[in-house]
């Protein structure tokens, strides 16, 4: 059980039923919660600092994507989008406009709370300067953008670094090849999914003890990749 968890969360959602359920679940976990029914209300509340924003894609006065972009102009607060559009394209678009995660309606409030906690942990970790895994076997220096294997510096290309950092930042989360293309090349880049395989292959040669049985970057067949290193305690 976490203690002292008092992060503040803004829910932007015009369906009162949904926002009240989500509010109840989050408050039960000790979060401070505010609700905005419209984008206009949300923009008014954004003068305050929030630790995370849950944002519905379909609002009466503005599209959630647009509001997300406005939020992004002034802040890197984690944003979780609520969407009724379940197409893969919309999902990636959701990530391309700066949302950190998305949940498709109808969703379980428990699942959403788990995602909220994951994003809060992640945003806290990003502020850390050094990520370390498997008892120091792999270290990622986020300030100098350097990677060390068993203490030795490894030279990665900028694309390899972006892919590794994104995977390692959320151990266990499965990334599709399409998501990794977006992360590696930016939303507008018409990359080929298979180029990601080549980057991952090169990465494995550099960071794995045995690239044929990788312990850090595992293949999720038919989908993509996930990071399976164990983060070290501080
Ligand atoms: Ca709505």
pLDDT at 1: 41
pLDDT at 126: 52
Residues 68 and 154 in one domain: no
- What number of residues does the chain have? 234
pTM above 0.85, yes or no: no
Q: How far apart are CA 3 and CA 100, in angstroms?
A: 25
Report the number of distinct structural domains present in the chain.
Answer: 2
> CB under 8 Å to 218, separation ≥6 — which residues?
225, 226, 227, 228
110 in any annotated domain? yes
Residues 119 and 134 in one domain: no
Please calculate the CA angle 125-129-131 and round it to the nearest 5 degrees.
60
Residues 100 and 142 in one domain: no
Q: Minimal CA–CA distance to 101: which of 114, 87, 85, 119?
A: 119
Two tokens at 68?
């997300």
2 in any annotated domain? no
pLDDT at 25: 96
Task: Select from 123, 144, 177 the last residue of a domain.
Answer: 123
CA 43 / ligand 1 centre spacing (Å): 16
Domain containing 24 — which CATH number? 3.40.50.2300
214 in any annotated domain? yes
Q: How far apart are CA 155 and CA 133, in angstroms?
A: 18
CA 1 / ligand 1 centre spacing (Å): 32
Contacts 24+ apart (CB under 8 A), 173-176: 173/118, 173/226, 173/227, 174/220, 174/223, 174/224, 174/225, 174/226, 175/224, 175/225, 175/226, 176/88, 176/223, 176/224
pLDDT at 213: 95
pLDDT at 194: 74
Helix axes 158-169, 177-185, angle to 10 degrees: 130
CA 50 / ligand 1 centre spacing (Å): 21
Strands 101-104 and 79-83: parallel
165 in any annotated domain? yes
Residues 45 and 149 in one domain: no
Residues 22 and 60 in one domain: yes
pLDDT at 4: 46
Domain containing 219 — which CATH number? 1.10.10.10
46 in any annotated domain? yes
Please give the span between the terminal C-alpha atoms of the chain, in angstroms, as a whole number: 19
CA 11 / ligand 1 centre spacing (Å): 11
Q: Residue 52, Cβ neighbours under 10 Å: how many?
A: 22
Residues 150 and 115 in one domain: no
Residues 161 and 215 in one domain: yes
pLDDT at 93: 63
Q: Which residues of the chain have pLDDT under 50?
A: 1-5
CA 16 / ligand 1 centre spacing (Å): 9
Residues 68 and 165 in one domain: no
Task: Select from 99, 123, 147 the last residue of a domain.
Answer: 123
Residues 105 and 21 in one domain: yes
Residues 94 and 154 in one domain: no
Residues 100 and 30 in one domain: yes
The range of the structural domain enclosing residue 44 comes to: 8-123
232 in any annotated domain? no
Residues 108 and 186 in one domain: no
With the CA atoms of 122, 126, 130 and 135 taken in that order, what torsion angle do they form, in degrees rounded to the nearest 10? Answer: 10
21 in any annotated domain? yes
pLDDT at 73: 77
CA 165 / ligand 1 centre spacing (Å): 33
What is the per-residue pLDDT across 135-168, written as a single tens digit (0 to 9) for each? 999 999 877 889 999 999 999 998 899 899 889 9
Task: Select from 72, 103, 123 the last residue of a domain.
Answer: 123
18 in any annotated domain? yes
CA 58 / ligand 1 centre spacing (Å): 4
């Amino acid at each position: 059980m976490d203690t002292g968890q008092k992060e503040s969360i803004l829910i932007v959602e015009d369906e009162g039923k949904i926002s009240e359920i989500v509010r109840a679940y989050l408050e039960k976990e000790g979060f401070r919660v505010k609700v905005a029914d419209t984008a206009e209300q949300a923009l008014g509340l954004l003068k305050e600092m929030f630790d995370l924003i849950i944002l519905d894609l379909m609002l009466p006065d503005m599209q959630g994507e647009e509001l997300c972009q406005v939020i992004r102009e002034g802040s890197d607060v984690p944003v979780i989008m609520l969407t009724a559009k379940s197409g893969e394209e919309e999902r990636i678009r959701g990530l391309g406009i700066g949302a950190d995660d998305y949940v498709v309606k109808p969703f379980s409030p428990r699942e959403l709370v788990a995602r909220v906690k994951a994003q809060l942990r992640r945003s806290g970790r990003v502020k850390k300067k050094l990520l370390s895994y498997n008892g120091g076997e792999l270290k990622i220096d986020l300030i100098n953008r350097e990677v060390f294997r068993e203490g030795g510096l490894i030279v990665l290309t900028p694309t390899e670094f972006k892919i590794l950092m994104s995977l390692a930042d959320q151990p266990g989360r499965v990334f599709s090849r399409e998501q990794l293309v977006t992360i590696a090349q930016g939303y507008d880049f018409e990359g080929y999914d298979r180029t990601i395989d080549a980057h991952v292959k090169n990465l494995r040669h550099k960071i794995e003890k045995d690239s044929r049985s990788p312990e850090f970057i595992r293949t999720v067949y038919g989908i993509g990749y996930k990071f399976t290193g164990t983060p070290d305690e501080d």
